[in-house]
């Protein structure tokens, strides 16, 4: 018996949310090494087949767990001066990337992506494209209102803004703190702002 028969039956969406919460708890407690289908099934009190019905791999489970908690953190939440909006969003995202539950899950997905092109593509298409696109939309809006150079192509700038923080957070021992974010934004504004 896999323990599932003694648990009360739950509807699909509720059960899926419970399983995603389990992966987040495991990530917080034991990091990447604790995130296996077996560990999730054991913690949730279900059989492995229950997990595999919803996700074919730990990578898919991790991506859904990331979606479960992170999507709202990718939004820009105000429409103030562009530098202030970028700063607020980058501080919020950097805190999410450096603390549980998002930090350990994101690192686990990054680890899986190094050896699995499908996971890399899914990570890019489900998250990184969104990060780049929302940043691009925010700086283009500032361009339309006259805060940023009207002639500038901001596509690469949006990628640079986002990529720098992810690089620092995931691949270096240096913090993504106020000083790092302010330094990045100072360079961006010096290159593109219409007023000093």
Give the CATH class of 4-66: mainly alpha
| CA max distance for the chain | 69
Confidence check: pLDDT of 159 > 80: yes
Q: What is the CATH number of domain 72-192?
A: 1.10.357.10
Q: Residues with Cβ < 8 Å from 41, sequence gap 6 or more?
A: 2, 47, 48, 50, 51
Question: Hey, where are the domains in the chain?
Answer: 4-66, 72-192
pTM: 0.80
In tens, the pLDDT along 117-126 reads 988 998 898 8
pLDDT of res. 95 = 87
Q: Is 62 exposed, middle or buried (0-12, 13-18, 19+ CB in 10 A)?
A: buried
In tens, the pLDDT along 12-66 reads 788 888 888 888 888 878 776 777 889 999 999 999 998 998 888 888 888 888 8
pLDDT of res. 126 = 86
Q: How far is CA 14 from the centre of its chain?
A: 23
pLDDT of res. 10 = 52
Higher pLDDT, residue 8 or 83: 83
pLDDT of res. 72 = 67
Question: What end-to-end distance do the CA atoms of the chain give, in Å?
Answer: 69
Q: Is 161 exposed, middle or buried (0-12, 13-18, 19+ CB in 10 A)?
A: buried
pLDDT of res. 27 = 80
Q: What is the average pLDDT across 154-159?
A: 95
Quickly count: other Cβ atoms within 10 Å of residue 119's Cβ.
21
pLDDT of res. 117 = 92
In tens, the pLDDT along 79-118 reads 899 999 999 999 988 888 888 888 888 888 888 888 889 8
pLDDT of res. 5 = 43
Are 154 and 148 in contact, with CB atoms under 8 Å apart?
yes
């Amino acid at each position: 018996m896999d323990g599932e028969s003694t648990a009360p039956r739950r509807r699909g969406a509720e059960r899926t949310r419970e399983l995603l919460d389990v992966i987040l708890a495991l990530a917080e407690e034991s990091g990447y090494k604790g995130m296996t289908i077996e560990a999730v099934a054991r913690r949730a009190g279900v059989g492995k087949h229950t997990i595999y019905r919803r996700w074919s791999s730990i990578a898919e489970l991790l991506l859904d767990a990331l979606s479960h908690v992170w999507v709202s953190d990718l939004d820009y939440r105000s429409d103030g001066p562009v530098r202030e909006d970028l700063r607020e969003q980058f501080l919020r995202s950097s805190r999410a990337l450096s603390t549980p539950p998002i930090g350990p899950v994101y690192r686990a997905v990054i680890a899986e992506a190094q050896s699995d092109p499908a996971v890399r593509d899914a990570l890019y298409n489900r998250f990184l494209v969104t990060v780049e696109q929302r940043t691009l939309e925010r700086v283009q809006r500032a361009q339309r209102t006259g805060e940023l150079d009207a002639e500038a192509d901001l596509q690469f700038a949006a990628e640079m803004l986002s990529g720098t923080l992810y690089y620092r957070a995931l691949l270096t021992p240096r913090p993504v703190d106020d000083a790092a974010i302010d330094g990045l934004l100072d360079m961006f504004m010096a290159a593109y702002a219409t007023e000093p």
